[in-house]
Structure 1
Amino acid sequence: MASNERPDPGAPYRLAILDDHGLIVDSLARWFADLAPEFDVVLKVTTWMDLIRAPEFPVDLVLMDLQLGDTVSIEARIRACRAAGAKVLVVTALDDDESRERCLAAGASGFIPKTLRADVLVDSARRVARGERLPRHPSRTDAPYGTHGAPSAGSPAADHDASSVHLSGAEERALRYYAQGLSTAEVGRRMEVGYETAKTYLRRVRDKYAKAGRPASRKAELIRRAAEDGYLE
């Protein structure tokens, strides 16, 4: 049997999710649970060492963020996974040609932006798990992957893109700090403003996303929006 052949072809695909933002990992795991019963999320990790040291590794597929807070290159991570028999799908907010070519040359089966909506991202993982290689330049016109399923025509989610939410400089800074895990009070201290002012900035951010048809009332939702629009990188 080949090293990358699955012992039981009828069993669920064993999936690992690696992203240095825990809330993003949890959100992705929920989307796979909701949309793809043929996947079994066996690893949810935020560091490279947590992935390769886990007893469950190797898996069938690793959904891997491009940029992690360590010194291990993306090429080394991809090659190590491939050597262990795991396919790799890189999901990133840094969607540029140089990074894409580096990942694909190292053996990744796909390189997709975080602006894909949930069902498109899951379908991409499904195709990679089956052994396909994704197109080098997937469509970038899909709604963000935080939206479950395809939005209906004419709905706010169907019509918006990342540029439809325009944040002021102060609002963007507040969102970045908050998405890093800081409390509202800590955001205020970083920005050298009062608690109420920081709270107002974050409320305005939530309101703007809500008006664009992208709910962000809960902390996990707001961090999801930050990830979709590149504020976590």
Structure 2
Amino acid sequence: MIRVVLVDDQAVVRAGFRVLLGDAEDLEIVGEAASGPEAVAVVRSTRPDVVCMDVRMPGGDGLTATRQIVAERVGVLPAVLVVTTFDLDEYVFGALEAGADGFILKDCDPAELADAIRRLARGDGMLDQSVTRRVIAEFARRRPAPAPDGQTELLTARETDIVRLLAQGMSNAEIAEALFVEPSTVKSHLGRAMTKLGTRDRLQTVVWAYRTGLAAPD
């Protein structure tokens, strides 16, 4: 079972998500919170796999909560899925910088929400979702790339190609097809690239690619 915590200041929104996810046999709602501080406490007590996090809450924003949850987690879980109305404001970008693993719209299809949770629980990130790519592209536009730090030179030509295609939103299978290699080969190269760059997951690797200019927004 994938353990999920729902965070939103509106009880009706949390109830709606609970109903939407109720038919998924592999998902279990183990806690709810109405503010950032409450979310941190619930995550500590329930140890979920995925946290569905609102970013704007009067009792304490999701940005601070995301940063604290990411700082305290062991490995890649719990993953933080930011649930947004996609205003592209500083709260969303701040959540990305704080370590959020993906973004999804509040009015998404129920199946899409469940799939997003499963992907994050597997550590796959949300790179094939248009909302995440748009957030990253806008993030890169508003945050100019810093001066090169030498990390780009650490990547082999094949690793560079894979990171560029990853930044386009491709899955491992799609990258493998584009480069005429096996998906397992893509996974190995990507893993080595992430180790060299010090990025913890696919989403943060894409953020790195945009920030350094290795990838460019459409």
Normalised to the residue count of structure 2, the TM-score between the two structures is: 0.52
Deviations 1:68-102 (A, max 9, x none): 113x4443211211123221000011431654432
User: Is 1:29 paired with 2:21?
Assistant: no
The one-letter amino acid of 1:81's match is: I
Distance, in Å, in 2 between the alignment partners of 1:139 and 1:52 is: 25
Q: Report the Cα distance in structure 2 between the residues aligned to 1:84 and 1:73, rounded to whole angstroms.
A: 17
The 3 A distance-change label for structure 1 pair 102 and 48 is closer
Consecutive unaligned residues in structure 1, runs of 5 or more: 1-11, 141-233
Corresponding position of 1:132:
124
Whether contact under 8 Å (1:22, 1:45) holds in the other structure is no
Report if aligned partners of 1:20, 1:68 keep a CA contact under 8 Å in 2. yes
Equivalent positions of 1:73-152 (< 5 A) are: 73-85=61-73, 86-96=78-88, 98-135=90-127, 138=130
Residues 183-220 of structure 1: CA deviation (Å, up to 9, x unaligned): xxxxxxxxxxxxxxxxxxxxxxxxxxxxxxxxxxxxxx
Going from structure 1 to structure 2, the CA distance change for 1:139 and 1:96 (only over 3 Å counts) comes to closer
The residue that corresponds to 1:60 in the other structure is 49
Counterpart position of 2:194: none
* Whole-Å separation in 2 of the counterparts to 1:48 and 1:73: 5
CA distance in 2, matches of 1:97, 1:45: 23
CA contact (8 A) 1:95 1:113 kept: no
- Which stretches in structure 2 are left out of the alignment for 5+ residues? 133-218
% of aligned pairs identical?
Answer: 28
SS at match of 2:3: strand
Structure 2 CA distance for aligned equivalents of residues 44 and 75 of structure 1 = 17
What is the alpha-carbon distance in structure 2 between the residues aligned to residue 57 and residue 49 of structure 1? Answer: 14
Provide the rounded CA distance (Å) in 1 between the counterparts of 2:46 and 2:72: 8
> Residue 139 and residue 106 in structure 1: after superposition, are their counterparts in 2 closer, same or farther (change >3 A)?
closer
CA distance in 2, matches of 1:58, 1:44: 12
1:95-147 superposed Cα distances (whole Å, 9 cap, x missing partner)? 3165443222211110122131111121111111110121286259xxxxxxx
The verdict on how the C-alpha distance between 1:135 and 1:23 changes in structure 2, with shifts beyond 3 A counting, is same
Q: What is the Cα deviation at residue 28 of structure 1?
A: 0.5
- Which of 1 and 2 has greater Rg? 1
1:138–1:99 CA distance, 2 compared to 1 (3 A)? farther
Instruction: Give the SS at the match of 1:108.
Output: coil
Contact 1:66 1:74 (C-alpha < 8 Å) held by counterparts: yes
CA distance in 2, matches of 1:57, 1:37: 19
CA distance in structure 1 between the partners assigned to 2:35 and 2:97 by the alignment: 23
